[in-house]
Structure 1
Amino acid sequence: MPDYANDPAIKNLQAYLRIKSVHPNINYDECIDYLKRQASELGLPAVVYEVVPKKPILIMTWEGLEPSLPSILLNSHMDVVPVFEKSWNYPPFEARIVNDIIYARGVQDMKSVGIQYIEAIRRLKNKGTRLKRTVHLSFVPDEEVGGRQGLGTFVKTEHFKKLNVGFALDEGLASAEDYLVVYNGERTIWHVSVICPGKSGHGSLLLPDNNGEKIRYIIDKFMDLRQESKKKLESDPELTIGDVTSVNLTILRGGIQNNIIPEKLVASFDIRLALSVNLDDFENMIKQWCKEAGDGVTYEFEQKDEYVPPTSVDETNVYWTAFKTALDQINIGVKVRTFPGGTDSRYVRLEGVPALGMSPLRRVQSALHEHNESLPASVFLEGIAVYEAVLPAIANV
């Protein structure tokens, strides 16, 4: 039996997992110190940028033989989501190994991937491998709260432009199957609130201009759209959640007392728009619903992302061809899908850089944000071998 507890790569992962970079109000100093030590061990320069105060971004750089060529970016985020410790079987920041399975917050999302990058480069350097293109490893903050003050801001700076990134890898999701899932695009995130004003008065009356009637109309329209997406998924087994528009009613606000009709009611929706949706048409539909719902109904956005074209996964993308060939050579299949949520990849794609999302974790259930987030040690180690094969392929294009 493998001695996972004493494997240097796994011990390295455990050390990273034990850093409590958990929301809210994260102090990233311990992460940065840890990553600087990793860079030093690898013999790589590391630079820390703090474009937004207390939101550091660390870049490790493995210079290529032809550094003028566009570089490869390996991105990962340092932050993890909160935990409900009483619901965990083991302390979430202890990184305990039980029956060869590592239990820890962030072990799938996505500290394992960050360490897989590091360990793959360690193996390649130990073999004396040199790559044509420069490889940058970026460790970024705040992805779990949208990433706008992390990579979202950094990609707009001269610091990022000087990295001369030609292709990027970022996180994906674990696959329960024998194949890996690669994500070449993401749905567009809209968080919209619909405000329904009306005549306030006593709760015993049937007053005109009623905001309850208005908000029911709005909710019905959005829930009808939700049902359409559910039917699409149920009718076509080839579709996944990333292929349809998801709609969820997430917040209802209004009212001060049960016998008083309030001045307004507000319904908020989380909408993830499929890549096939025309965004202007969709917003016009919301406008029309508001008009039909009654006088004074308006909407506003808490978040309104723009459309980001997906990365090509055909022969026009030489990085994709090299990536896919490398996986074929180690007998690992891939399926390409649209990511169901949001990752930092969208910020890179928005700058015109092709990017793929992949967590090289197969034959394991996805456990992002769940209690008892875990990962078999063998799956983590296989992921290192995946990057050991993929990095030379894409960096030597």
Structure 2
Amino acid sequence: MVRTYGICSLSYVPNLLIFLLFFLCTSRVVVSLPEDSSAIISRFQQYLQINTAQPSPDYSGAADFIFSQAKTIGLESQSIEFVKGKPVLLLKWPGTNPDLPSILLNSHTDVVAAEYHKWTHPPFDAHLDKTGDIYARGSQDMKCVGMQYLEAIRRLKNSGFQPVRTLYVSFVPDEEIGGHDGAEKFAQSEEFEKMNVGIVLDEGLASTNENYRVFFGERCPWWLVIKATGSPGHGSKLYDNSAMENLLKSIESIRRFRASQFDLVKAGLRAEGEVISVNMVFLKAGTPSPTGFVMNLQPSEAEAGFDIRVPPTADEKMLEKRLEEEWAPSSRSMTFEFKQRVSTLNEFGKPVVTATDDSNPWWSLLEGAVKKANGKLGKPEVFPASTDARYFRLRGLPAIGFSPMANTPILLHDHNEFLNQAEYLKGIEIYESIIKAYTSYTEHTRNDAYRDEL
């Protein structure tokens, strides 16, 4: 869009101002604005306005919207349902050499729920304020990335660019509840095998400074429930090894371990993704009564739940030993079970991580593409939580977590989640550069050799 200013009429103005205005008017100053930026932002808002919050995401609405975008861009599209009502949306831009391993850009369509009354603007209105901030659930996690993929492809196609490698874009369900009916089944499917994927890009996190954050691995969830048992007793009686006493001893031991890990982060000695985090998420005990709980009865059972996140650098055996001997020893009439436990190692005993050096050409290409688009990458990190990228890494594929949001507060799952429109538009330029570099790469990669080694 070009805005022009022509000859203007003047009344009395000081001589210097007359000269400046005359120069501006007769020179026809041209102010260049981002091409079609309002339409780009509008499409982003439309996607954000589809309520795909768990536990009842509108997947059909999201599919209709994504497929409409694919049609206008000129991409092939299909819907694959490994579980009824939970579609994996797959878009394809064929390359001129389909024998080369393809590129997969992955995102998830679901978002977490929001407490409406704690938001300044309704979480599914996609409100754009005067400063350019777009408030919506999913604005950072991760509808922004899915739409940035499509906008970057739209620009490349409009410019006449033709990829050498085939490019796939996937929109998967249920990431916010583990991805078991989405990316996990997709990565294990025959359909995925036929795609011959060589590299996967998935989500990252916002950065509070000018450097984009990038992730080569992630902490694995160990969802643990510890249970203590003992004889019931009168509320006034003091005796050893009651269920509550034993559980509290465990909680205190876990608290001390948590503090030791957190101290490393506070001191700047470790990044958040490099330590074992432990957070208690529920405490269950007591004998219910019509008015609450029986106050003069010590319960015979008590249990607590913990969300533990284990980095790929951790020693799982040592953590297991700590659990058995300190946190839930059988000598104190304690038991434990995992509601979910994901190993940091693959089936061959190797950490599930992606190389971030010259041995991985995809990493070098990413660095170069971001730099070419005037962006900066920070030090590669371990993602502090879990993403769908782990399912692709388990297949022996390189997978990089990356969401181009710089100078942005980290608000995923928080109240008033937002992304500034300028950062969103800049992210499209970043992906345009990455897609161009990845799909133009014609050298042989080490994927096949790596899989043979595994």
TM-score range, shorter chain: over 0.9
Q: Which residue of 2 aligns with 1:215?
A: 247
Distance in structure 1 (CA, Å) of the matches to 2:129 and 2:226? 48
Distance in structure 2 (CA, Å) of the matches to 1:89 and 1:200? 49
After superposition, the C-alpha distances for 1:12-39 in whole angstroms (9 at most, x for unaligned) are 1111111111111223111111111111
Whether the 8 Å CA contact 1:185–1:339 is kept in 2: the answer is yes
**Pair 1:291–1:84, CA change in 2 (3 A):** closer
**Pair 1:342–1:291, CA change in 2 (3 A):** closer
Distance in structure 2 (CA, Å) of the matches to 1:5 and 1:197? 65
Q: Which residue of 2 aligns with 1:379?
A: 423
Do structure 1's residue 314 and structure 2's residue 357 form an aligned pair?
yes
Instruction: Kindly provide the amino acid, as one letter, of the partner of residue 406 in structure 2.
Output: R
Do structure 1's residue 47 and structure 2's residue 78 form an aligned pair?
yes
Q: What displacement does 1:292 show? A: 4.5
Distance in structure 2 (CA, Å) of the matches to 1:275 and 1:381? 34
Whether the 8 Å CA contact 1:217–1:293 is kept in 2: the answer is no
Q: What displacement does 1:233 show? A: 1.6
**Pair 1:378–1:238, CA change in 2 (3 A):** farther
Whether the 8 Å CA contact 2:253–2:327 is kept in 1: the answer is no
Distance in structure 2 (CA, Å) of the matches to 1:387 and 1:5? 17
Q: Which residue of 2 aligns with 1:162?
A: 194
Do structure 1's residue 323 and structure 2's residue 366 form an aligned pair?
yes
Distance in structure 1 (CA, Å) of the matches to 2:375 and 2:404? 10
Q: Which residue of 2 aligns with 1:343?
A: 387
Q: Which residue of 1 aligns with 2:182?
A: 150
What is the aligned length? 396
Instruction: Kindly provide the amino acid, as one letter, of the partner of residue 386 in structure 1.
Output: I
Distance in structure 2 (CA, Å) of the matches to 1:3 and 1:323? 25
Q: What displacement does 1:5 show? A: 9.6
Distance in structure 1 (CA, Å) of the matches to 2:177 and 2:55? 9
The alignment's C-alpha RMSD in Å is 1.7
1:203 to 208, 225, 235: 235
Do structure 1's residue 280 and structure 2's residue 317 form an aligned pair?
yes
Distance in structure 2 (CA, Å) of the matches to 1:197 and 1:361? 49
Q: What displacement does 1:293 show? A: 6.7
After superposition, the C-alpha distances for 1:185-243 in whole angstroms (9 at most, x for unaligned) are 101210111111111122122244311221122112211111111221233x2532111
Do structure 1's residue 390 and structure 2's residue 421 form an aligned pair?
no
Distance in structure 1 (CA, Å) of the matches to 2:35 and 2:244? 59
- Which structure 1 residue ranges, 4+ long, deviate > 6 Å from structure 2? 3-6
Q: What displacement does 1:282 show? A: 1.2
Greater Rg, structure 1 or structure 2? 2
After superposition, the C-alpha distances for 1:323-370 in whole angstroms (9 at most, x for unaligned) are 111122233211211111111111111111111111111111121112
Q: Which residue of 2 aligns with 1:301?
A: 338
**Pair 1:378–1:191, CA change in 2 (3 A):** same
Whether the 8 Å CA contact 1:214–1:293 is kept in 2: the answer is no
Do structure 1's residue 367 and structure 2's residue 392 form an aligned pair?
no
Q: Which residue of 2 aligns with 1:37?
A: 68
Distance in structure 2 (CA, Å) of the matches to 1:324 and 1:5? 28
Whether the 8 Å CA contact 1:18–1:93 is kept in 2: the answer is yes
Distance in structure 2 (CA, Å) of the matches to 1:91 and 1:157? 38
Q: What displacement does 1:6 show? A: 6.2
Unaligned runs of at least 5 residues, structure 2:
1-30, 288-293, 346-351, 442-454
Q: Which residue of 2 aligns with 1:7?
A: 38
Distance in structure 2 (CA, Å) of the matches to 1:61 and 1:355? 19
After superposition, the C-alpha distances for 1:139-176 in whole angstroms (9 at most, x for unaligned) are 01111111111111221111111111110101111111
Q: What displacement does 1:374 show? A: 1.1
Do structure 1's residue 141 and structure 2's residue 160 form an aligned pair?
no
Q: What displacement does 1:248 show? A: 1.0
Q: Which residue of 2 aligns with 1:182?
A: 214
Unaligned runs of at least 5 residues, structure 1:
none
**Pair 1:4–1:212, CA change in 2 (3 A):** farther
Q: What displacement does 1:274 show? A: 2.3
Whether the 8 Å CA contact 2:328–2:336 is kept in 1: the answer is no
What's the secondary structure of 1:125's corresponding residue?
Answer: helix
Choose between structure 1 and 2 for higher RCO, CA contacts under 8 A separated by at least 6 residues.
Answer: 1
Q: Which residue of 1 aligns with 2:27?
A: none
Whether the 8 Å CA contact 1:151–1:347 is kept in 2: the answer is yes
Q: What displacement does 1:4 show? A: 10
Instruction: Kindly provide the amino acid, as one letter, of the partner of residue 217 in structure 2.
Output: G
Q: Which residue of 1 aligns with 2:6?
A: none
Whether the 8 Å CA contact 2:77–2:92 is kept in 1: the answer is yes
Q: What displacement does 1:391 show? A: 0.8
Do structure 1's residue 333 and structure 2's residue 370 form an aligned pair?
no
Whether the 8 Å CA contact 2:329–2:335 is kept in 1: the answer is no
Distance in structure 1 (CA, Å) of the matches to 2:37 and 2:402? 27
After superposition, the C-alpha distances for 1:102-141 in whole angstroms (9 at most, x for unaligned) are 1111111111111100000000011111111111000011
What's the secondary structure of 1:180's corresponding residue?
Answer: coil
Whether the 8 Å CA contact 1:327–1:390 is kept in 2: the answer is yes
Distance in structure 1 (CA, Å) of the matches to 2:148 and 2:400? 16
Whether the 8 Å CA contact 1:290–1:298 is kept in 2: the answer is no
Q: Which residue of 2 aligns with 1:68?
A: 99
Distance in structure 2 (CA, Å) of the matches to 1:51 and 1:10? 32
Distance in structure 2 (CA, Å) of the matches to 1:3 and 1:63? 28
Distance in structure 2 (CA, Å) of the matches to 1:127 and 1:288? 63
